[in-house]
Structure 1
C-alpha cells in the first residue's frame, strides 16, 4: 500500500510533496497543479513556478531525483500493487453481527463542493434495514451527503445538502457479488448521474426556492455507518455488512467515458485524475474501527460472473448426494475444462479431514455411465460430455449404476490429482455442489413479526456448511461433546447475531442431517413466544411447491390428485376451504354496497318432464338448479381451473348457502325430492401473493373474486291449472316458481337472464310436447325469486286417429243408409242403430280416459255431434219408413174398397214425398257435417 501510495505521488509536482508534509490534503495538492479544474470552477490559481527563484528550482529538481530513487527502490524490493492486481479493501462486520461500532472514519476534511462524484465497489454479504455506504455530516446537518441501499425496497438512496435534495433509484444490490457504482451531482447545473452495471442514468433536478446548493466543507466523512448526529447517532440496523473497495470521491463530475471506464475496470487508478478521497493509503488517511483492512484482486470485482462450489463434508451415496444438491438449489458439479478441474482440486484438498474415504476418490461428480452408448453423460441432462479427465485406462461400462468419483486428495501421486474414476453409485462420497447464482433459501412457517431472517444463503465456514441470513440471522451446526452417547449427533442452531437470546434449534437424526425441508424447531425468546414451530427451509422458486423433504415440484401439481413429491406431501392438507372461527354459516355474505343486495345468479336446466298428470292437474320434472354467488368472507386454496376438482362437498363446516322454495300456480306448494347436491368453487382470478408464514406454498384466492357454485339435482312435482276447453287440441301454460327462503331481497337477490333456463330433454312426451320455456321475475312479497314458464301443446294426433277418425267413419256409415232402398227398412234401421250404439260406446270410453270437467271440451262436442248425426239418421229412416207405410196402407184400402181416384193420387204423392225426403237427407247430412267441421277446426286452431 505504501508503495502504491508512492507511485500515486510520483504524478504530482514538488509543491505537492511539500504540501503533503505540511498537512495539506490531496484535493489541495490537486488544485494547485490542475489549472483545467481551477478554470472550470472559477478558482484559477497563480503559477507558483513563475514566481520561484533559481534556488527554489534547484531544490525542486533535487526532490524529483530523490523521490524517483526511492520509488525505484520500493518497486524493486516490494513490487507494486498494480502488478499484483490487488487493491485495498475494507471488510465490515465479517462475522455478520450488526454493530454500530464498525466503521471507517476519514481523518481529513472535505472542502465545500459545488460538484461531487462518488464511486465505489461493494460486495454485500448481509443486508441491513439501511445499508449505509458513506455518511458525511457537518455540525449543522447530519445528512449533508449520504449514499445507502435499501435491500427490502430495492432502491439506492441519496441525501444531500441537509435533506434539501433527496433522490431514490430503483436498484437491486445483489448479495455476495461485486457491484461498481458511481453517483455524480452538479449543483450549479442541477443534474445528477447514476452509474450501475455500465449503464448511466442522468436527469436534472429542481429545488423549491432555487437556493444555492453545495456540500459544505469541514465535516466528518464515515463509511459503514449512518450519522444521525455529527460523529454519532449510529444504529446497528443502519450499518454495512460488506466489503468495500476502490472508493473514490472527486470534486467534479466525471464525464461519461470516465464513469464507464470505472465500471468496466478499464481505467488505472494510478493514472486517473486524483480524487480528493480514496483508499490509496487507508492506514494513513483513515481511522479503522472494528473492520478488517486487506486486499482484493481486481479480477474479482471486474468479473462479476460468479459461481459457488459447496462441498458437503459428509459421505453419501450418489442418490443422496444428488438429492442434497437439488434441495440446496444447485446440482452436482461437472468440470468442463482442466482449469475448472484444478480450481476444484484446490478446494477439495482442504477437506481432507472431513472427506477421506480411504480410497483414491472421496467426492462425487455429476457424471453417470451409459451402458447402451458406452459414454459418460451429465446426470441431469443426459448429454454426452465433451471433457473428461479419467486417469485410468478407459474401461467398458458394464453396469448401469456406475458413477464418477473425483480424486481431491493431495496425498496421492501428482498424476492422480483431480483425476476421474468410475465407481459404483452405491458407494459413499462427499457431494460437490455447483450453484450458478446466489441461491436464497426461504424459511417458511415463521410468524409475521418474527425476528429471524426469512432468507438464507449457504456458505462454507471452516469446512462446515453455514446458513447465513440475508439480514441478521445465521444457522450453524453444533457438534456433540466428546462425553455424549453415540446417538447424539449435535444440533442446528438458528440465532440472531445481534440478539443472542433469540434462538431456535433442532437436533440431528444423523451426522449428515441438514435443516433443509420440514423440521420442528424449538424457538426461544422470539416475539411470537416460546414454542415448537414447524419450519420449512427450501430453495424452491416462485410457482414451485416445497415438499417436506425439500424437493421442489410445480405449484400447479399441488392438490391435483396425483402424487408428485417423493414423500407424497403435495397431496396432504388439500382442503380447499378453511373457515375462520368467527364465520357464521347462518348469515349471508356481507353487502359490498349497502344499497345493493348480494347477487345469486341462477341457472335452471330441465332434463325431462317425466309426467303430465292432467287428471290431477300437476306435472313432474327432473331439473338441475345451479346457483353462483360470491362470499367476501372466504378464502380458498389450491383452486384448479376445472371447477369439478374444487369440491367443498362433504366438509364438516360448510359456508352459507342460499335456500330455495319451489312453488306452483298461485304460490301453491310443490313436492321436491333432492337427488344430490354439490358445492364447489369456480376460479376466476389469479392467486394472492405467497405468504411465507405458512409452511407449505399455497395458492390462496379471495372469495370476493372467486365464486361458490351449488348444483342441485331435483325431482319436482308442481301443481298446474290446466284449461281443457279445447282438449285435445289444447295448449297449456304451467308455471314453477323458485323463491329465496328466509332472507329478504334487500340482502339477497336472484339474478337471471333469458339464457338462465335450458331444456335438454325430449320435448315430445306421451300426450304433450314442450313448445318453449321462459324465465321471468317471480318475486313473492319481499322475497326475491324467479318464475319458470312452460308452454305445452297437446299431441292430438292420437285422438285424431283413435277417436275422431273412427267416429267419423261411423258417421259416414250411418250416412250411407240413405243410399239403401227406401223399402229396406230393417237393414237401414239396423245400420243406423248399430252406428249410434257404437258411437255411444266410443263416447263412454273417451270420457273415462280424459279429465272430467263441468264444462264441455272440444272432444265432448265432437262426440255429441257424432251422436246427433247418427240420431238424425235413425230418426230420418224412421220418418221415411212411416211415410212409406202410410202410402202402402192407403193403396191397400183403395184396392179393397174401390175408392175414388183422389185417394190413389194421395198415395202416390206420399211415396214421392218419401223419395224426396231421402234425397234431402243425402244432401243435408254432409252439408251440416262440413259446416260443423269448419267451425270445429277454426275453434281447435285458435291459440
Structure 2
C-alpha cells in the first residue's frame, strides 16, 4: 500500500479532467475533500510539484492549469465555500488582483496564481485531511473499518481509492472501466457497469468478477462509494442529504435520486397476500383478526318520508397490523404516512357493504390509507446500500379511512305523526370476499360520533350510538325527532280555524239557509283538500295515525254541522185572522224567527263540549307517546 495513505495533512489529489469551477468544487466535496487552496509557500510548492506531471493533460496550450478554492467578493478575496478572508495568496506581481471581471484564481506551472474568468474550464486539485475517507457499501465486510477507502493521488493518471485492508479501486484504460482489485491475491473482485469514465462515486451498478458474499460471479448488485454517514442518504452522484429529506415529495439531490424508489410497502409477489387477511400476532390467543374501528356520521343528507329511506354520509376508519410485510420511509412514531395506490395495492384490506342499503350501490366518496409506526425502526448495517430504516409490519398500524354516501332503508313508525321519533340505523358488514367470517371481525370497542348539524329541515338528530350486532357487522343507530313547528302551522292551525268557521255558521240566521249551507260545505271541502295533501306526503300505510284521527274528527264535526243546517227549520209565529178592511193602526213587526232549542243547545253546549273532550284525550295520547 502506498505510504501516501498515511501522509500528513493536507494532501492533494489531481483530477486530470477539465471542469468548471462549480463542478470542481462539487466533486471534491463528494470525495470528502475541498478545492485545493495552499496556505503557505511550502504547500503552494508541493501542489505545484504535484501538478507538473499533468501539464500535458490539463489545458495543454495554457500555462494555468488548476482551479484554486478562492473567489473575489465585495469584501475581497475569500475561501469557497466557507467565505473566510484569504490569509495567503501567491498572485503574480504587478497585476490588479481586485479586477471584478476576473473573479477566480488558477495555479500556473511556475507556482504563481493567475486571475481568470469563472466560466472557464480547468483541472481540479482536491485537498484532503487525514480524517477524510469514503464508505463502500454493498458488499459483506466484517468490520466497518474494512469498508473505508481513501483518495490517493496517482502521478500521470487518475487518483485511486485504497482501503484499510489493501483493496484498490482504480481506473483501467485498457478495459475502459473502474474496478475493485485485491493486490494481495492479484485478482479483480468486481467492476462498475455503465458507459463513461466518471468517478465511481455515489450509487452505482457493479458486476461481480468472482464469487463473493454468497453471490455467484456475474451477479449484478448496487453499491455506493461516498462520504455519507450511516444515517445519511447517498445520492446517485455521491452527495449526502439528511434522512428526513428522503422521499419527502421534494427534490433535494442534484440528480433527483432522493425521490426514486420511494415505495413504502415491501411485500412479496404472492397473490394471496392481498386476498387473505393477516393472521393475528403470535402473542394473541384469538385466531381471528380484530379490526379496531371508528365511525363518524358526517351528515344526514335527506329524509324521504314517502319511500321510508334516508340518505346519509358517513366515514369509517379501520385499524389493523399486517406482520407479513415491512415498511420504509415512515415518519417518527405517531405520524402517519399516506400510502399511494401502488403501495396500498400490495396490502390486504377489508371489503365492506351496507346491509340495509335501499337499492342502488354504495357510493365511495374518498379513501385514505395511512401507515403509522408505533415502535422505532430497525436501522441497516454499515454494509447496506439502502440506508432507509425498516419498520416491521407488527410495529405499524394501518389506518383505512373511507367516506361513503348511502341511501339506507328505515321503517318509519308514523302512528304519532307529526310528534313521532324515528329510530334509524346504518349497518356496515364485512363482505365475504374479505376472507370469511371466521378470519376477521370487528372489535367490540368502536368509537361513534356525529359531526353534522343536529337540526335539519324537518328533523333533529339525537342519540347516535352503536348497538350490539354480529361480529362481522357494525350497526350504528340514531334518532330523528320530527320538528312540529311547520306542521302545526300548516296542519293543525288551519284545520282548527276551519272548525271555528263552521261553528260560526251555526249563529247565522236560520232563515239564511243558502249562506249557512255554502259556508259549511266550503269549509268541509277545504279541510278535505288539506287532509288529502297531507296524506300524499306520507307513505301509504294501512295503520291509522294520530293525524288521521284529528282530521277524521274535524271532518265528522263539519259533516254534522251541515246536517244540522239542513234539518233545522225556523220557528213560525202563530197565525191571526185576516180582516178585509184596511186598518189605520200600524202592524207589529213579526221579528226574526227564533232558532230551535236543539240548535241552541248544539252550538252552545254539545259542540264545544265534544271539541274540548276530544282535545283533552288527543293531546293526552300525544304526550304519553
Decide whether aligned partners of structure 1 residues 468 and 937 sit closer, same or farther in structure 2, where only a CA change above 3 A counts: farther
2:54 alignment counterpart = 354
Aligned-partner Cα distance in 1 for 2:195–2:273: 45
TM-score by length of 1: 0.57
Instruction: Give yes or no for contact 1:680–1:708 (8 Å, CA) kept in 2.
Output: yes
Supply the distance in 2 between the matched residues of 1:618 and 1:698 (Cα, whole angstroms).
Answer: 52
Is 1:815 the equivalent of 2:516?
A: no
Q: Which residue of 1 aligns with 2:405?
A: 715
Q: State the alpha-carbon separation in 2 of the partners of residues 331 and 451 from structure 1.
A: 24
* SS, match of residue 441 in structure 2: strand
Structure 1 Cα separation of the partners of residues 595 and 192 of structure 2: 128
Question: Does structure 1 residue 516 correspond to structure 2 residue 221?
Answer: no
Q: Which residue of 2 aligns with 1:44?
A: none
Change (3 A) 1:334 1:931: farther
Match 2:150 to one of 457, 472, 477 = 457
Partners of 1:759 and 1:773 within 8 A in 2: no
- 1:623–1:554: structure 2 CA closer, same or farther, 3 Å change rule? same
Which of 415, 421, 428 is the aligned partner of 1:738?
428
Report the counterpart of residue 279 of structure 1 in structure 2: none
Q: State which of 222, 242, 246 in structure 2 corresponds to 1:554.
A: 242
Aligned to 2:621: 939
Structure of higher RCO (CA pairs closer than 8 Å, 6+ residues apart)? 2
Change in 2 beyond 3 A, CA 1:733/1:510: closer
Correspondence 1:585 to 2:277: no
Aligned partner (choices 441, 445, 456) of residue 749 of structure 1: 441
1:618 touches 1:717 (CA, 8 Å); kept in 2? Answer: yes
Distance 1:931 1:873, change over 3 A: same
CA distance in 2, matches of 1:842, 1:636: 67
Q: Residue 343 of structure 1 corresponds to which residue in structure 2?
A: 43
Structure 1, residues 618-646: CA drift from partner, whole Å, max 9, x if none? Answer: 22223333322211111222235798963
Structure 2 vs 1, CA of residues 831 and 520 (structure 1 numbering), >3 Å: closer, same or farther? closer
Separation in 1, partners of 2:49, 2:427? 85
Partner in structure 2 of residue 138 of structure 1: none
Report the number of matched residues: 596
Gaps of 5+ in 2: 579-592
Once residues 941 and 797 of structure 1 are traced to their aligned partners in structure 2, the CA distance between those partners, rounded to angstroms, is: 16
Matched residue, 1:776: 467
Q: 2:346 pairs with 624, 632, 654, which one?
A: 654
Counterpart Cα distance in 2 of 1:825 and 1:311:
126
Cα deviations by residue, 1:825-852 (Å, 9 ceiling, x for unpaired): 4423332232122222222222222222
For residues 706 and 818 of structure 1, the distance between their equivalents in structure 2, rounded to whole angstroms, comes to 82
SS of match in other structure, 2:506: helix
Task: Calculate the TM-score normalised by the size of structure 2.
Answer: 0.84
Match of 1:332 in 2: 35
Contact 1:730 1:940 in 2 (8 A): no
Deviations 1:495-532 (A, max 9, x none): 34544446112379666x32212333331222311123
Query: Among 838, 844, 855, which residue is 2:543 paired with?
Result: 855
Pair 729,696 (structure 1): closer, same or farther in 2 beyond 3 Å: same
| 1:167-566 matches, cutoff 5 A | 307-317=9-19, 318-335=21-38, 337-338=39-40, 341-355=41-55, 357=58, 359-370=62-73, 373=74, 375-392=76-93, 393-399=95-101, 402-407=103-108, 409=109, 412=110, 417=111, 419-436=112-129, 438-446=131-139, 453-460=146-153, 465-471=159-165, 473-480=167-174, 490-501=176-187, 503-506=189-192, 513-525=198-210, 526=212, 527-531=214-218, 532-566=220-254
Contact 1:309-1:435 within 8 A present in 2 as well: yes
1:862-881 superposed Cα distances (whole Å, 9 cap, x missing partner)? 111221232343344455x2
CA shift in 2, pair 1:747/1:435, >3 Å: farther
> Matched residues in 2 for 1:368 and 1:311: separation?
21
Structure-2 change in CA distance of 1:895 and 1:830 (3 Å): farther
Deviation for aligned residue 1:475? 1.9
1:893-917 deviation digits (Å, cap 9, x = unpaired) = x879xxxxxxxxxxxxxx8883575
The SS at the match of 1:560 is coil
3-state secondary structure, aligned to 1:314: strand
- Any conservation in 2 of the 1:663–1:670 contact (CA below 8 Å)? no
| 1:648-667 deviation line (CA, Å, top 9, x unaligned) | 314695311112232129xx
Contact 2:370/2:399, CA 8 A, preserved across alignment: yes
Unpaired segments of 5 or more residues in structure 1?
A: 1-93, 97-124, 126-175, 177-299, 301-305, 481-487, 897-910
SS of the aligned residue for 1:352 comes to helix
Q: Distance in 2 between matches of 1:333 and 1:548?
A: 24
Bigger Rg over Cα: 1
Alignment check: 8 A CA contact 1:517 1:550 kept: yes
Q: Which range is displaced more, 640-649 or 601-610?
A: 640-649
Which among 711, 715, 728 is matched to residue 418 of structure 2?
A: 728
Match of 1:27 in 2: none
- CA shift, 1:816, in A, is 1.5
Aligned ranges for residues 862-901 of structure 1 at < 5 Å? Answer: 862-878=550-566, 881-882=568-569, 884-885=570-571, 888=572, 891-892=574-575
Q: Give the direction of change, closer, same or farther, for the CA distance of 1:436–1:353 in structure 2 (3 Å limit).
A: closer
Q: How does 1:778-797 map to 2 (within 5 A)?
A: 778-779=469-470, 783-797=471-485
Q: Secondary structure at the match of 1:312?
A: strand
- Residues 925 and 567 of structure 1: CA distance in aligned 2, closer, same or farther (over 3 Å): same
- Residues 466 and 477 of structure 2 are in contact (CA less than 8 Å); yes or no, is this contact kept in structure 1? yes
RMSD (Å) for aligned C-alpha atoms: 3.6
* Match of residue 576 from structure 1: 264
Alpha-carbon separation, structure 2, partners of 1:766 and 1:755: 27
